[in-house]
Amino acid sequence: MKQGIAVGRVGSVPVFLRPSWFVIAALVTLLFAPGIRASVLVAPGLEYLIALSFAILLLLSVFIHELAHAGAAAATGTPATHIVLDLWGGHTAFGEESTSPWRSIGVSVVGPLSNAILALAAEVAVQLAQPHGVTRLLLEALATSNLIVAGFNALPGLPLDGGRVLEALVWRVSGDRHTGTLVAGWSGRVVAAGLVGWTVVGVVGGQRTLTGGLWLFLIAGLLWQGAGQAIAAAQWFRRADQARIDDLLQPAVSVPSTATVATALLAASEVGAHAVVVLDVYGRPASIVDERSAADVPAGRADQVGAAAVAHALPEGAVLESGLGGDALIQRLQAHPAARYAVMDGQERVVGVLDWEDVARFVTSS
């Protein structure tokens, strides 16, 4: 999936800029420019260039935030795969999840902490800047914005960093990561609902403009969506942990490569199998008979048409062992995608056929 515009690398980690960032940069420029014009004396039109500079400073703040996540992840053994800066800030992707709650907490807290440090540094620089100047104005705005980002990200609800901390704490107490994700996901929805209520009160009471209110409503909607995705993912993984190949497979019978459609169907009916696996000349699963194609063969020719002629070849890796379940099963299916899989027992005998749709139906059912 294309991540955006490649803007460089930090070590081995590529950094991408989503085109949507230019939208937020334009909005920040338009909203910030009138305040600049009212606060400092600048040449006409220059306020927009200064406002754009502030948008770029915000981008750099987001980059430092994500860089902190990437650095902490590398230090705890889960290096980042890429960093993306986008419309709503950014995110850092990892090749694998943290293996312990404490590592997850460490990776999460450094993001808001980096913004708090930036806010403090900007506030110190404000004291050294010339009063009523452009530099002082930008530093004040940078300090305020980073302080807000730090506080907002620390709220205890996914997809915020504070939600990751809550997720890890519940994981540590309960011993179940998915329980932590569910709790933090629902907490994220509470945060989103609280943001909506706070915005409504502010707009009605006149403390907040309608434009600012609409912006906060949009942020609340994105939070609600992110929290919902976290809840759905936790439910999916919890069901995936319960998936067992022996419970989901369709009983099958194997026939040699020389078998005809007639002998294949007869072999299946004799043992009550629902599927037929055709073996190659070495006795290994090679294909699975397509039931519809076999049924379309005229009865008078069923003993003349080879079973392999109405079967779908098995791609590489589409032979599984019985007994697989949970994460091991899902990883095998993801590593070797196929519509159907032949399943063999410990004695190298075909015992069934696993249909991917049956697995998907199981893990997505409530």
Distance set, CA 143 to CA 54, 123, 125, 247, 326 (Å): 11, 6, 9, 58, 47
Q: Which of 166, 183, 18, 35 is closest to 89 using CA atoms?
A: 18
Please report, rounded to a whole number, the percentage of residues in the chain having pLDDT higher than 90: 71
Q: What is the pLDDT of residue 237?
A: 87
Question: 216, 192 in Cβ contact below 8 A?
Answer: no
Give backbone dihedrals phi and psi of 257, rounded to 5 degrees, phi first. Answer: -65, -20
Distance set, CA 279 to CA 169, 303, 317, 322 (Å): 51, 18, 15, 18
CA 228 to chain centre: 12
Does residue 84 have a pLDDT over 90?
yes
92-96-98 Cα angle (round to 5): 85
Does residue 87 have a pLDDT over 70?
no
**Average pLDDT over all residues of the chain:** 91
Q: What is the pLDDT of residue 1?
A: 47
With tokens 């919890």, the residue in question is 238
Options 3.40.50.1820, 3.40.50.720, 3.10.580.10, 3.10.50.40; which CATH number does 245-364 get? 3.10.580.10
Q: Which of 352, 280, 286, 294 is closest to 320 using CA atoms?
A: 352
CA atoms of 278 and 271, how far apart (whole Å): 16
More confident residue, 163 or 99: 163
Three-state secondary structure of 169-182: HHHHHHCCHHHHHH
Work out the average pLDDT over 290-301.
92
Beta bridge partners of 275: 252
Q: What is the pLDDT of residue 102?
A: 93
Work out the average pLDDT over 126-130.
89
What DSSP assignment string belongs to 222-238? HHHHHHHHHHHHHHHHH
The domain locations on the chain are 5-239, 245-364
Lowest mean pLDDT among 39-48, 63-72, 244-253: 39-48
Q: pLDDT-derived band of residue 2, with 50, 70 and 90 as boundaries?
A: low
Q: How far apart are the first and last CA of the chain?
A: 29
In this structure, what token pair is assigned to residue 250?
A: 């369709």
Distance set, CA 186 to CA 152, 158, 166, 169, 234 (Å): 17, 8, 11, 15, 11
CA atoms of 224 and 230, how far apart (whole Å): 10
CA 324 to chain centre: 25
Residue 34 is classified by DSSP as H
Work out the average pLDDT over 338-353.
94
Q: Which of 78, 75, 81 is closest to 93 using CA atoms?
A: 81
Q: Which of 26, 146, 20 is closest to 84 using CA atoms?
A: 20
Q: Which of 213, 194, 192, 215 is closest to 203 using CA atoms?
A: 213
